[in-house]
Amino acid sequence: MRQALVAVALLAACRGGHPSVRDAGRPRPASAVSAPPSLVPKIGQSPDPIEAMRELDQRIAIHRKPGDEGQEIGFLLDRAAIRGDLEDYAEALALSGAWIEHAPKSDAAWKARVGVLTRVHRFGAARDALDHLEPLVPDRSEWEGLAATIDEATGQLDRSAPYREATARRWPSTVNLVQWANSLALQGKLDDALAVMPKAAAVMRENPPELFEYLYFQWGRLYEQKGEPAAARQFYEAALARLPTVEVQAHLAQALIATGDRDAARKVVTAALAGNRHPDLVALAAELEPDPGKRAALVAEAKAGWERYLAALPDAFADHAARFFVGVGGDPARALALADQNLANRDTLEARALVVEAALAAGAPDRACAVAGPIAEPRALRAQRFLAWRALTACHRTDQAARLGAELGIAPP
């Protein structure tokens, strides 16, 4: 189970952060969104998350020795997915590199290398490592999932989607079903994706807190992508109760802001910062801080944090840092440079939307229009299509903007 959850953490991390609330393109203010009835199914108990984190720290310490590289790398990636600490990413990367130098014919070493490189968004290097792995493992099932994760993260859905569906139908476990749902979402089939999630909950047979968090968080992400923050909020709250990962904390705070509950968002962020000064969380604290002096100090702290992450692993954090700089960080030119770097690394709809948002903020409408085409298509999320409409309007493509606006219901036909 732990290895399966590491694998899904790789893909979850490659999908980037929360979309901008201000670009949702919804016809009513977020504060007017009413809370729906409870949507979260009750599917059993899980161990105490604090104790689970303590045990994870102990496992890393126990396996930090020669001969246990596979276990140590796996547990480091587990902790990185939970806390987002730069040191865990860097240690896993260095350890996997040393392992393949020491054991160049080890399929386990190359599997670990592919996983770590994917986790830090070095996708070209991950594909090269996969080329080394394939001859060592004739059974395709041993590495096809790794290949599918790289394909999804880089927008190659024509290759990954058939694999995700076939795997979920043949082995309908919670993890496989959620991965299929995520694949459907990437194809713009959000309703189909949401229809899969109750099936994923129904087949839960194990109870580690990370599995519950994974299920609830990905369920919430689907509602967030659909533009229903009140529904997303319910699942993020359920995920937080199972395991307080930095990603859950950040997305829950954004959902609370989107539903007009800034006080609750402030409480979530304050509690999270008590144990983790991750720059995503610090940036959210700055966004929620009414005092100008305190806000400036928080912005400076978040900026320093992102600069540290970017200096060590630029590909891994270009997207997150770009969202900071285009928002509360107040440096749209820097955001655009980082967004362009991210797009060069992986041509996905989300990466294109980030470039468009940053380009518009930086006063570069021609750059926004140059990449906006795919996010104007029906398969894109509504928030992404709204950004495309803004880009087309800004660069005076009047007819195209009018057609897209009519489809979105935000401009007369």
Is pLDDT at 11 greater than 90 in this prediction?
no
pLDDT in tens, 278-328: 999 999 999 999 999 999 999 999 999 999 999 999 999 999 999 999 999
What is residue 66's predicted lDDT score, i.e. its pLDDT? 86
Percentage of residues in the chain having pLDDT higher than 90: 86
Q: Residue 286 in contact with residue 328, Cβ under 8 Å?
A: yes
Cβ neighbors of 187 (< 8 A, separation 6 or more) are 157, 161, 379
* Cα–Cα distance measured from residue 171 to residue 286, given in angstroms and rounded to the nearest whole number: 45
Q: Residue 187 in contact with residue 164, Cβ under 8 Å?
A: no
Q: Residue 297 in contact with residue 277, Cβ under 8 Å?
A: no
Is pLDDT at 4 greater than 80 in this prediction?
no
What is residue 174's predicted lDDT score, i.e. its pLDDT? 97
What is residue 54's predicted lDDT score, i.e. its pLDDT? 93
* Cα–Cα distance measured from residue 74 to residue 62, given in angstroms and rounded to the nearest whole number: 13
Cβ neighbors of 45 (< 8 A, separation 6 or more) are 207
| Average pLDDT score, the chain | 91
Percentage of residues in the chain having pLDDT higher than 70: 91
pLDDT in tens, 364-411: 999 999 999 999 999 999 999 999 999 999 999 999 999 999 999 986
What is residue 36's predicted lDDT score, i.e. its pLDDT? 61
What is residue 411's predicted lDDT score, i.e. its pLDDT? 64
pLDDT in tens, 220-261: 999 999 999 999 999 999 999 999 999 999 999 999 999 999
Lowest mean pLDDT of 53-67, 302-316, 351-365, name the range.
53-67
pTM for this one? 0.91
Q: Residue 175 in contact with residue 5, Cβ under 8 Å?
A: yes
pLDDT in tens, 182-227: 999 999 999 999 999 999 999 998 889 999 999 999 999 999 999 9
**Closest C-alpha to 351, from 194, 359, 190, 366:** 359
* Cα–Cα distance measured from residue 303 to residue 376, given in angstroms and rounded to the nearest whole number: 32
CA distances from 326 to 309, 349, 352 (A): 17, 18, 14
pLDDT in tens, 320-351: 999 999 999 999 999 999 999 999 999 999 99
* Cα–Cα distance measured from residue 104 to residue 343, given in angstroms and rounded to the nearest whole number: 32
Q: Residue 252 in contact with residue 263, Cβ under 8 Å?
A: no
Q: What's the half-sphere exposure (Cβ side, CA atoms, 13 Å) at 183?
A: 27
Amino acid at 119: R
How much of the chain is in helix, strand and coil states, percent to nearest 5? 75, 0, 25
Is pLDDT at 16 greater than 70 in this prediction?
no
What is residue 17's predicted lDDT score, i.e. its pLDDT? 42
The arithmetic mean of pLDDT across residues 361-366, rounded, is: 98
